[in-house]
Amino acid sequence: MKRGATIDSMRIRLLAFASASDALGASEREIELAPGSRVGDLRRELGARFPALSPLLSRLAVAIDGEIAGDALPLAEGAEVALLPPVSGG
Amino acid sequence: MRDRHDGREVAGIDYSGYEPMAERALARIEEELADATPGLRIAIVHRLGALAVGEASVAIAASSPRRSTAQEATKLALERVKREVPVWKRERYADGSSAWREEEPLATDPVPTA
């Protein structure tokens, strides 16, 4: 079993940018989720645990280890998951 | 970089990014444009951090035997940067307030061309 994994939960490293970072109160947090959780489950959990994030969720893209991920994609122990608001570079 | 937004005077701009993903996105844009255009060489740099009004946030260098090719590639590169690179700008206003600009949903597919 990987270090940090338990039967009851898995941990991901959550990064948040721009308004998502403001709403989360941090640019980075460790989040515990049920094993087998998918991106859609993460969105629901974040909305429940961080109410300030709730109104932003529909506008946030989610990336897993630097790749945009749809709601059906599963998360793995230790994944780096990023919350990405609409961008404004260039 | 403009100095007014919604009538408020912009005092400065901070750019932040998801750096590893942004670097890969810039490299992808450079590579795809060069692959699609024989003779084109192109390099894109996006600055992060605090910039003063009037400072450039992006530098694009393009060369081609035909000037129009390089100009067109530069234009397309900037359009793609604006849609595909995970970078965000926060405007700082003269009254001390600030706001994130959130404009384009992050895309990973190239902008369709006509």
Interface of A with B (CB under 8 A): 15, 17-19, 22, 59, 61, 63, 66-68, 82, 84-90
Using pLDDT thresholds of 50, 70 and 90, give the confidence band for residue A7.
confident
The b/e string for A1-13 (b: 16+ C-beta within 10 A; e otherwise) is eeeeeeeeebbbe
Tell me: the pLDDT tens digits for B48-97? 999 998 899 999 999 999 999 999 999 999 999 999 999 999 999 999 99
Q: What is the ipTM of this complex?
A: 0.90
Interface of B with A (CB under 8 A): 15-18, 20-22, 24, 46, 57-58, 78, 81-83, 85-90, 100-106, 108
pTM score, whole prediction: 0.90
Determine contact, residues A44/A58, Cβ cutoff 8 Å: no
